[in-house]
Structure 1
Amino acid sequence: MDTPKTENATDCPVDHVKTAPAEPAAGCPVDHAKPQAKPAAVPASTLGGPKGSLPIQALKLFSHPSEFMTKCRQSYGSRFRVNIFPGAQIYVLTDPDDVKAMFLAPRDVLYTGSSSAQIEKFTGQTGLAWLDEDEHTKRRKTLMPSFKGGALQRIDAAIGAMAEQYVAQWPRDRVVSLHPYVHRFTMQVIREVVFGNAVPSCWDELFEELMRMLDFNRRKASLLLLHRLSPAKMKMVRAIKPLGVDDFVKTRARVDALIAKAVKERLESGVSGDDMLSVMLSLTKDDGSQLSGVEIRDEMMTMFLAGTETTAAGICWTLEYLTREPEVLKKVLAEIDEGTDDAYLTAVVHEVLRLRPPTPQIIPRAVMKPIEIGGIQYGPGMHLWASGYLLNRDPERYPQPDEFRPERFIGTKPGAYTWIPFGGGHTRCLGDRIAILEMKAVVREVLSTCELRRADPKPEAPRSRAVVIIPEHGTRLELRAKAPKRSLAGGS
């Protein structure tokens, strides 16, 4: 097609997308014979952000996470800085291209381990969440067999049986907050991941102590970086009983002792398998040594935290959305009754995770070497924080982004850089497939056995539970038992 002529003599007639001629055309201000210099990167320090003090911004993020982040993007654009961690320069990224560049950055440029301080009180500092570069790669490769292949098949079968067992025990005919019950279910699933069929004799006690320990996440004091407090300050916060820090520390000590007991029991039994504990006990490091008791404890606690809190949030949000979207619920029920496919239920789960990623801002990346992303120069000491919440609601990728429309994911897989409820890059969650299996199993079991009634037609707002976001009231519903279906083969 010929290029239309212009009547304006000052316009440039050259198609800059095509190969430029050796001589510039008359009236064109660009000398195409010379290579055009790349625009200089803009220092990250020029990016805007909210002006409030650290305590004020942190409280806003904890109390109204979605509103706080949304207002920041509206005011400052797709990249902005926030002041929520002491001594940290944090820059939030919400554009898919920026997030992709962050995920694909060399492993010696961006670290995640140094950004895990928020969960250190649970996980310690030696597990996968704290490792970078070659150490992270090797540990991740070693643990992977516990999450795929035969192990995944075993876990999948256990999830189905557990969903049937535990949903049957949930209260009927009265309004309750489902989150505590869902969280207990997800902890039992992680027991299967960590211990497999060789459940330790102390599991029942360990289970209750773990649930008590993780209950600390509902308190604002869970935001404290306890490991960075001086002994004097730690003594002070423990003395303030309403904060719950003293109870948390004592419970953590009991959990540590029970984990050590479970590991000792496994070593003495000689049992081996594809469960996570077996894999860790067989791991040999470069110097020929095996993982220490502390390293095994830290890795297990990472799973007991990250593998339960996030999935419980996802399940609660799914039930929350289904009970306020009758047409979607009707389609899910029809698919379950048909029993031949779960494509629509899968799309529902994907859409819930788009709208309500359990961890709305993924683990920050600490900048170790200078990196340019999207024309912005970030330097050592800065942190890049990808917002899954804002990214997943990008109107250019998701029309009417705030609407619950599972049809977006029918016949379409979520994009690696436009849908990040499980993080991304080389630190993407190891248990992402297990989480989705859990979400579908619980929803399927609940809808197959119960009629659901909302206690309040008003949608539940998001509420922070440490690093995850759950429905404000924990998904308050009434479960009413469905009448058993009559047999079509002559049953009465």
Structure 2
Amino acid sequence: MNLPQGPKFPAWWLKMQFSADPLSFLDKMNQRYGDIFTIMSESTPLIFVGNPQGIKQIFTNPEIIASGELNAESAPLVGKNGLLLLDGVRHRSRRKLLMSSLHGNNIRAYGQQICDVTEKVMNQLPIGKSFLAYPTMQKITLEVILNTLFGLHEGDRYEQLKHLLTNLMNYARSPFVEIPLSFPFLQQDLGRWSPWGYFRDLWRQFDQLIYAEISDRRQQSNPDANDVLSELIFARNETGELLTNEEIRDLFPSLLFGGRDASATAITWALYWVHRQPQVREKLLKEINSLGESPDPISIVKLPYLNAVCNEILRIYPTQVVTFPRIVESPTNLIGYNLSPGAIIIGCIYLTHQNPELYPQPQQFQPERFLDKQYSPYEFMPFGGGARRCPGEALALFEMKLVLSTILSGYQLALTNTKREKPQPQGANYPPASGLKMVLCQIQEYKEQLQEAGLC
């Protein structure tokens, strides 16, 4: 087996560096070793690949398998029957169920709900006072989750889930959970007042609420319901049987974290770039306004420049920095390297998106590049690819476009800081380190705010 070059430092040291600042770590590795390099984890080589040729082989080579076993350490987050841990027929069947619930006519029906939720949250902001955009976008994306995934809009269970999911997902991003996920021996449930015990207690509360909702839905079916939970309750698995309550429950955690935090991260970066470059905002507004008053959400999501802006945002800081790991099952060749069974391969989305040959001046925000060129799924892949591609991709893009267009067309915002924002890792996501402080302005104050911020 001949492996790509890589650092010779101990694996634990490299893991600490990666955990502390993943993007800087990947940049340093790329500068020293190129877009394919190896990190040894004891006797197992971890091969990072950040070029389209290698990415294509990762997604299409039958000898390179996306085994659910490689995601075993995430079981406390996603459940034993979560998509990340399933393989083969079970994985394909459950993925198909989710894809049908999160595409086509279903998400079209969510359009007005997303716009309404955005207005509801934005209308709560005081005019003339600064606010943090990232937690505000998290409020929007959480309410969208409650509406679209659970079909809940009001009532006791809606309020309970809203409060619980906020606590659960915030705590899951804390060191009290992230460190034990990396070091399983720390996962000690010593009661509700212990760090891991509190985390498990939050999940138990979630289980009680979701199982109660499933029980109610089974007894009182609503043929007009189009939320994901309702569809899964009456869906059948690979053997033709109805999904069990636990199987349904385990399909939600990954959707929850992606639906709130990944979506909120993308929308927050959208607000940053659009308001940092006022000409982009003006061009977007002109395109949105061309649809007339109260445009149909489907017409909005088809706008070409809006699509280009969203793609460029996802290119610079993708919601997934790396693909899910793959394992070599049989001897194979990966862009000139002969690999033996057991080697682990990780596609590096971030490095591919920063490739100057693909994307000239990659650190520059240039939406026009997506109008001038059609990129392949091995060159642009913000939601991963192959068998592990994010099943919620269509809904995430749909939501991102509608939230951004609703905010731009209805609210005058300005950045309060002219310094370039840097991403900060929070779990698998990289929102702006500051949370992105902005101000909601009255119309007559808007240009003054821009001038004071040095943006016009």
TM-score interval, normalised by the smaller of the two chains: 0.7 to 0.9
Query: Aligned in 2, Cα 1:382/1:438: closer, same or farther, shift over 3 Å?
Result: same
Alignment counterpart, residue 362 of structure 2, candidates 393, 401, 405: 401
Q: Bigger CA drift: 215-224 or 257-266?
A: 215-224
Supply the distance in 1 between the matched residues of 2:141 and 2:34 (Cα, whole angstroms): 37
Q: Bigger CA drift: 383-392 or 246-255?
A: 246-255
| 2:250 counterpart SS class | helix
Verify: 1:234 aligned to 2:187, yes or no: yes
Verify: 1:209 aligned to 2:164, yes or no: yes
Supply the distance in 2 between the matched residues of 1:313 and 1:86 (Cα, whole angstroms): 34
* Offset at residue 118 of structure 1 (A): 5.1
In structure 1, what is the equivalent of residue 13 of structure 2? 56
Query: Aligned in 2, Cα 1:359/1:109: closer, same or farther, shift over 3 Å?
Result: closer
In structure 1, what is the equivalent of residue 51 of structure 2? 95
Contact 2:233 2:243 in 1 (8 A): yes
Verify: 1:248 aligned to 2:209, yes or no: no
Query: Aligned in 2, Cα 1:370/1:418: closer, same or farther, shift over 3 Å?
Result: same
Alignment deviations for residues 208-239 of structure 1 (CA, whole Å, 9 cap, x no partner): 11111110243234433549734xx4338989
Structure 2 counterparts to residues 298-337 of structure 1, below 5 A: 298-337=250-289
What one-letter code is carried by the residue in structure 1 that aligns with 2:216? Answer: E
Supply the distance in 2 between the matched residues of 1:182 and 1:237 (Cα, whole angstroms): 34
Supply the distance in 2 between the matched residues of 1:429 and 1:413 (Cα, whole angstroms): 21
Structure 2 counterparts to residues 116-195 of structure 1, below 5 A: 116-117=71-72, 119-195=74-150
* Offset at residue 186 of structure 1 (A): 1.1
* Offset at residue 260 of structure 1 (A): 1.1
Alignment deviations for residues 353-406 of structure 1 (CA, whole Å, 9 cap, x no partner): 011102211221233333321112233332211111110111111111111100
| 1:464 counterpart SS class | coil
Supply the distance in 1 between the matched residues of 2:192 and 2:45 (Cα, whole angstroms): 32
Supply the distance in 1 between the matched residues of 2:211 and 2:43 (Cα, whole angstroms): 35
What one-letter code is carried by the residue in structure 2 that aligns with 1:256? Answer: D
Supply the distance in 1 between the matched residues of 2:153 and 2:401 (Cα, whole angstroms): 26
Supply the distance in 2 between the matched residues of 1:188 and 1:258 (Cα, whole angstroms): 16
In structure 1, what is the equivalent of residue 451 of structure 2? none
Supply the distance in 2 between the matched residues of 1:145 and 1:274 (Cα, whole angstroms): 11
Alignment deviations for residues 273-294 of structure 1 (CA, whole Å, 9 cap, x no partner): 4432233222333445432222
Gaps of 5+ in 1: 1-42, 485-492
Alignment counterpart, residue 475 of structure 1, candidates 414, 417, 436: 436
Contact 1:123 1:301 in 2 (8 A): yes
Query: Aligned in 2, Cα 1:158/1:464: closer, same or farther, shift over 3 Å?
Result: same
More helix per residue: 2
What one-letter code is carried by the residue in structure 2 that aligns with 1:181? Answer: T
In structure 2, what is the equivalent of residue 196 of structure 1? 151
* Offset at residue 339 of structure 1 (A): 3.1
| 2:430 counterpart SS class | strand
In structure 2, what is the equivalent of residue 457 of structure 1? 418
Supply the distance in 2 between the matched residues of 1:189 and 1:78 (Cα, whole angstroms): 37
Contact 1:93 1:387 in 2 (8 A): yes
Q: Bigger CA drift: 425-434 or 197-206?
A: 197-206
Alignment deviations for residues 256-308 of structure 1 (CA, whole Å, 9 cap, x no partner): 21111111111121224443223322233344543222211110222112222
Verify: 1:435 aligned to 2:387, yes or no: no
The percentage of counterpart residues that share the same residue type is 28
In structure 2, what is the equivalent of residue 66 of structure 1? 23
Q: Bigger CA drift: 257-266 or 331-340?
A: 331-340
Superposition TM-score, scaled by structure 2 size: 0.87
Alignment deviations for residues 428-468 of structure 1 (CA, whole Å, 9 cap, x no partner): 21221211121122222222233222222111111111111
Equivalent pairs counted in the alignment come to 435
Supply the distance in 1 between the matched residues of 2:61 and 2:259 (Cα, whole angstroms): 26
* Offset at residue 422 of structure 1 (A): 0.5
Superposition TM-score, scaled by structure 1 size: 0.81
Larger radius of gyration between Structure 1 and Structure 2: 1
Alignment counterpart, residue 372 of structure 1, candidates 333, 340, 353: 333
| 2:368 counterpart SS class | helix
In structure 1, what is the equivalent of residue 295 of structure 2? none
In structure 1, what is the equivalent of residue 452 of structure 2? none
What one-letter code is carried by the residue in structure 2 that aligns with 1:93? Answer: V
Verify: 1:264 aligned to 2:188, yes or no: no
